[in-house]
Structure 1
Amino acid sequence: MRQRIILDVDTGVDDSLALLYLLASPDAEIAGIASTAGNVPAAQVAINNLAWLELARAPEIEVALGAADPLEIPLRTTEDTHGPHGVGYAELPTPIRRISTRSAAQMWVDLVRRHPGELVGLCTGPLTNLALALREEPDLPRLLRRLVIMGGAFNHPGNTTPTTEWNIHVDPEAAKVVFDAFSFAPPDRRPIVCALDITESIEMRPTHLIRLAERAGSHPIETVSPADPPEARSVASNPIIRHLTDAVRFYFDFHDGYDLGYLAHMHDPFAAAVALDPALARTRPATVDIELEGALTRATTVADWAGIWGRPPNADIVVGTDPVRFFDRMIARIGDHARALYPGQPVGDPVTRLR
């Protein structure tokens, strides 16, 4: 059975892979895409989403523009992590599709009211749009079938401050609105939270790009390395593989620059996979709250695992998964989809360097 998804993203290199994963999945149908300010401003996020949809020859899918700023603080973006336009070194075609006339928050509200109990929400960026939607429709937690959030860090260091994860850090007030709202949801409506504790174990490496190209029948089969200059570009015959290679290579360079290795953490496509198949993840219930006052810990996600606060759990936090199984599935789905979109590519070319 196909699952209908509301995708809320701040696209983003790994958000791009999450979007492609859903488009490539026979068990997914995207009901709407909310463009969230985060990695880059919301307007650029919307352009990225439209461009990927066109490149992937997707059917008409509504792309709505989200709020330009977080609820209470100025927007902070991270072009150093995702590139000046959010897609690394990739130079996506200028889209001809149009942004929706309704806001992202209004799209959330209209869709869940129209399809109660049917939609899966997937948030891979800051939670601003969902928080605004909750202000208009407080019953949204019960109207959704399921919610999956990529965000937070619990028993793990942060990636923005020593204790905070990027998505929560951008708009902690919105995160608190969301987790507070789900405190009153039934247990089967608790959000599944994919935090850094797990997503930083989802390590994409150059060999995964090679496997994607091979699966897609793209040529030449290219390998990327830290020796590649910034101006190098993929010449892969398959446009999906070509643009993904250029996008992900920037992400590899970023992680390598912080001594994390020549790899990239695939936070968001993992969350997309969990949204479609929660069995990919082992979870543990907890009561989650957001620190808003601490001088050193503002935007920290705090989990009460033992019930010390005396409040019911409002989240199911992912505590385990099998990264190999995830990557096998992602490569198969995106690779096969890329081949189907752009068929006729020869297979079996030797591995070459970028040009």
Structure 2
Amino acid sequence: MQSVAETSAAVASSDTRRKIIIDTDTATDDALAILLALFAPNIKVEAITITVGNVDFEQQAKNALYTLEIAGKGNGKIPVYRGCSRPLMRQTHGTATYIHGNDGMSDSFFPDPKQKPEAEHAVDAIIRLVEKYPGEITLVAIGPLTNIALTLLRKPSIASQINSIYFMGGCYKFYGNVTPVATYNPWVDPEAARIVFQSGIPITTAGFDISCYSSIFTDADYEEVQKLGTKLADFFLKINRIRRVFCKERQKMNGSNHPDALTMAILIDPSIGQQMLSRYVEVETQGELTRGVLVIDELGVMRKAPNATICAQADEKLFKEMVFNTLKII
């Protein structure tokens, strides 16, 4: 007869789910990305780490914890760790309350979650978990890359033990969303982004451009979400109230885009990434007009080996099916 320890070890070894850490500045779209991961049958969320970004730092942690709670996962089994509350080398950054609301959740001002953040710093948690599962952890970075860059600075050898990184940022032959050429996540902390892109860790990017092509929820889509009548559908509708208006009025979209969720969806179901391009990518840190741009060497003029896989086309139908299937669960 097997002992309890042997049985537990056997169960753990038979778990074929992909282990991930979600590094997030949790606001509206991050919350949807978290929901997709929580209910994906092939994904095991080992931890959520909070990085500088969208709204007030402590509010971001609350948003992640409340998302776990609304999903029925706020039982402490998925820990939340607070990390860097400011960029590596810059004193300030611009929050994105204009699109996410003051609380990051379209001013829903949900009650404080029952689960609390862990005392351990996010960087320490990332190092510990990667060393516990060498070669198995994928980092899903849906916020600025400050926590991951600091992890690499603290322990450079950890890079070889990280399976891969999925990063929401940049754009391929498109325009920016915080400056005419730069997207928010690398713009907030370009020095961190450069460290990560030069680390040698396999990186897959899903940019702002792909979200505009393949993740737009129109008014008709929102009507279908409302018909679901579930707790998660109601949560989705509430947290996107301000985002829907902003995307239509300011970004001239036919609805709200969901770049973080699309990034997560491509990890969960790689077939959603219809066109994946290997390119060398550098990050601009000093440009007066180009801070935070992911510079993609399309023609190979820099004569450097590709360091990133860029999603240049995604399947909108499969993405929306995943979102609807998740929102109808509870």
How does the TM-score come out when normalised to structure 2? Answer: 0.90
Q: What SS is found at the alignment partner of 2:112?
A: coil
Match of 2:210 among 198, 206, 212: 198
User: What is aligned with 2:79?
Assistant: 62
Match of 1:289 among 258, 270, 282: 282
Identity %: 29
Match of 2:137 among 116, 119, 141: 119
Query: Structure 1: how far apart are the matches of 2:34 and 2:41?
Result: 13
Match of 2:189 among 171, 193, 200: 171
User: What is aligned with 1:130?
Assistant: 148
Structure 2 counterparts to residues 47-86 of structure 1, below 5 A: 47-58=62-73, 59=75, 60-73=77-90, 74-86=92-104
Matched AA of 1:106: D
Q: Is the 8 A contact 1:128 1:171 kept in 2?
A: yes
User: What is aligned with 1:43?
Assistant: 58
What value does the CA root-mean-square deviation take over the aligned residues? Answer: 1.5
Q: Is the 8 A contact 2:172 2:312 kept in 1?
A: no
- What's the offset of the Cα at 1:320? 1.1
- What's the offset of the Cα at 1:209? 2.8
- What's the offset of the Cα at 1:137? 2.4
User: What is aligned with 1:265?
Assistant: 257
Unaligned stretches of 5+ residues in structure 2? 1-15
Matched AA of 1:103: H
Distance 1:273 1:93, change over 3 A: same
Query: Structure 1: how far apart are the matches of 2:35 and 2:111?
Result: 16
Q: What SS is found at the alignment partner of 1:30?
A: strand
Query: Structure 2: how far apart are the matches of 1:261 and 1:273?
Result: 21
Matched AA of 1:240: L
Q: Is the 8 A contact 2:226 2:237 kept in 1?
A: no
User: What is aligned with 1:305?
Assistant: 298
User: What is aligned with 2:6?
Assistant: none
Query: Structure 2: how far apart are the matches of 1:79 and 1:107?
Result: 28
Match of 1:275 among 258, 267, 292: 267
Distance 1:259 1:277, change over 3 A: closer
Match of 2:127 among 109, 112, 120: 109
Q: Which runs of 4+ in 1 moved over 4 A?
A: none
Matched AA of 2:86: D
User: Given the alignment of the two structures, is residue 315 of structure 1 paired with residue 308 of structure 2, yes or no?
Assistant: yes
Deviations 1:312-333 (A, max 9, x none): 1110011111111110122112
Moved more, 45-54 or 196-205: 196-205
- What's the offset of the Cα at 1:280? 1.7
Distance 1:112 1:252, change over 3 A: same
Query: Structure 2: how far apart are the matches of 1:75 and 1:258?
Result: 21
User: What is aligned with 1:211?
Assistant: 224
Deviations 1:52-72 (A, max 9, x none): 111111142110001110011
Structure 2 counterparts to residues 172-251 of structure 1, below 5 A: 172-182=190-200, 185=201, 190-201=202-213, 202-214=215-227, 216=228, 218=229, 238-251=230-243
- What's the offset of the Cα at 1:278? 2.3
Distance 1:28 1:11, change over 3 A: same
Q: Is the 8 A contact 1:153 1:197 kept in 2?
A: yes
Query: Structure 2: how far apart are the matches of 1:259 and 1:125?
Result: 20
Alignment: residue pair count: 310
Moved more, 260-269 or 32-41: 260-269
Matched AA of 1:300: V
Query: Structure 1: how far apart are the matches of 2:26 and 2:251?
Result: 24
User: Given the alignment of the two structures, is residue 10 of structure 1 paired with residue 9 of structure 2, yes or no?
Assistant: no
Q: What SS is found at the alignment partner of 2:128?
A: helix
Matched AA of 1:303: I
User: Given the alignment of the two structures, is residue 94 of structure 1 paired with residue 112 of structure 2, yes or no?
Assistant: yes
Distance 1:32 1:288, change over 3 A: same
Query: Structure 2: how far apart are the matches of 1:291 and 1:85?
Result: 30
User: Given the alignment of the two structures, is residue 24 of structure 1 paired with residue 6 of structure 2, yes or no?
Assistant: no
How does the TM-score come out when normalised to structure 1? Answer: 0.84
Match of 1:255 among 211, 233, 247: 247
